Amino acid sequence: MKVIMLGAPGAGKGTQAKRLAAEYNIPHISTGDIFRANIKGGTELGKKAKGYMDAGQLVPDELVCDLVVDRISQDDAKNGYVLDGFPRTIPQAEALDAALAAKGENVDYAVNIDVPDEAIISRMSGRRACVGCGATYHIIFNAPKVADVCDVCGSKLIIRDDDKPETVRNRLSVYHAQTQPLIDYYDAKGLVVNIDGTKDMDAVFAEILEKIGK
């Protein structure tokens, strides 16, 4: 089972990707994890990626794809995997398809966790983080016992810059510009599975399993 997870920042795709990987006993693969593992391991691909990152540049699509293909070729991925955060663009998707086709393989599903922008903005702007111990809360879903005070250490809770509504809107506009074409790309191949991401986490997961089959 080879699955690609799609969804806006804050849609919950990372959580669902991990649950899906555990359900099928296949690896959850994110590009961030791949970069860290290769850089820590001092691999040739890792050294190349580190060079771009240290220079403050984006890692080129071709190198990102090489890193991903190297990861999905490992033994633990022989029965499938869940890709989280890759591909992000059409060129990356095309490079992945070409690499898989060369091995006689293909993607099975592109699971799109669909949440309206305003719901995501509401979710993320409700997050709070402790300045002392780093504990995280949500003013609706996981509120502290005392408003703006950490249950764990008593320090002040703040809203991170990344979670401020204007920042979230900017991230969403970038996401839509990059990813809507990607959804269309996989939809044309009949691979997109749309999931209502506004439900609670368990209901979202149940819908994914229902639609892709256990």
Residue 195 lies in a domain: yes
Domain extent, residue 196, equals: 2-115+168-212
CATH of the domain at 76: 3.40.50.300
- Structural domain tally of the chain? 1
pLDDT digits (tens, 9 = 90+) for 141-193: 899 999 999 999 999 999 998 899 999 999 899 889 888 899 999 999 999 99
Per the structure block, which two tokens stand in for 212? 């892709």
Q: Does position 65 have pLDDT exceeding 80, yes or no?
A: yes
- Alpha-carbon span 141 to 69, nearest angstrom: 38
The pLDDT of residue 135: 93
The catalytic site residues sit at 13, 88, 127, 160, 171
The pLDDT of residue 178: 82
The pLDDT of residue 147: 94
**How far from 131 is each of 9, 138, 149, 156, 168, CA to CA, in Å?**
23, 15, 10, 6, 21
Residue 131 lies in a domain: no
Residue 202 lies in a domain: yes
Look at the alpha carbons of 183, 187, 191, 196 in this order and tell me if their dihedral is positive or negative: positive
pLDDT digits (tens, 9 = 90+) for 18-38: 999 999 999 999 988 898 899
Please tell me which of 9-13, 123-127, 152-156 the model is most confident about, judged by mean pLDDT: 152-156
Residue 56 lies in a domain: yes
Residue 174 lies in a domain: yes
The pLDDT of residue 214: 60
Mean pLDDT for all residues in the chain: 93
Residue 143 lies in a domain: no
Tell me the three state secondary structure of residue 73.
Answer: coil
Residue 134 lies in a domain: no
Is beta strand 157-158 parallel, antiparallel or unpaired with respect to 127-130?
antiparallel
Residue 130 lies in a domain: no
Query: pTM value?
Result: 0.84
